[in-house]
Amino acid sequence: MTKSKSGRSAGDVKARGRKWFYTKTVKEHFFSPKNIFKTKAEAAKYKADGVGVVGSAACGDVMRMWIKVDREKDKIVDCKWMTFGCASAIASTSALSVILTERGGMKIDKALRIKPQDIVKRLGNLPAVKFHCSVLGDQALRAAINDYFKKTGQTGRIVPAN
């Protein structure tokens, strides 16, 4: 386990004198994120069918998600992302990208039913004050799917933002 200069383990957080421990799964997705773009150059070369951006750098977290869709099967077959934010934000987006792409991808209608609670469950939990990170992932996915709908003339399928 990685130790910081303060002697705390990587992933440990101090909040109002109490110690939080992220789950093993959160730490795994934070230290070894899945499906992530590591550079803007990688992202620029990616031919996405839909792109979603949510959050604000002024508030702390920004998530950008790119999806590729198999149009014949109406299925998300690839998902890439970049997140500016905390460990919970990075882990949430990484876990969501895995949920979407495992077993060959996910039907769009099923992907639209993913809730923040599903992401938190996959992570094995998040501290209550970090739950909003899973909400941002959910919103970034919906924005990417809506972008795909707009680009393909499926405006009747656009899901209003929460």
What stretches of 9-131 show up as alpha helix (H) in DSSP?
24-31, 40-45, 87-101, 108-111, 116-123
d(CA 33, CA 27): 9
How many residues would you count in the chain? Answer: 162
* 59 labelled catalytic: yes
In angstroms, how far is the first alpha carbon of the chain from the final one? 39
Q: What three-state secondary structure class fits 56?
A: strand
* 79 labelled catalytic: no
Name the active-site residue from 69, 99, 123, 133.
133
Question: Quick count: other Cβ atoms within 10 Å of Cβ 38?
Answer: 9
d(CA 116, CA 103): 21
Name the active-site residue from 59, 74, 150, 152.
59
Closest to 146 measured CA to CA, from 56, 42, 69, 34: 69
Residues designated catalytic: 59, 133
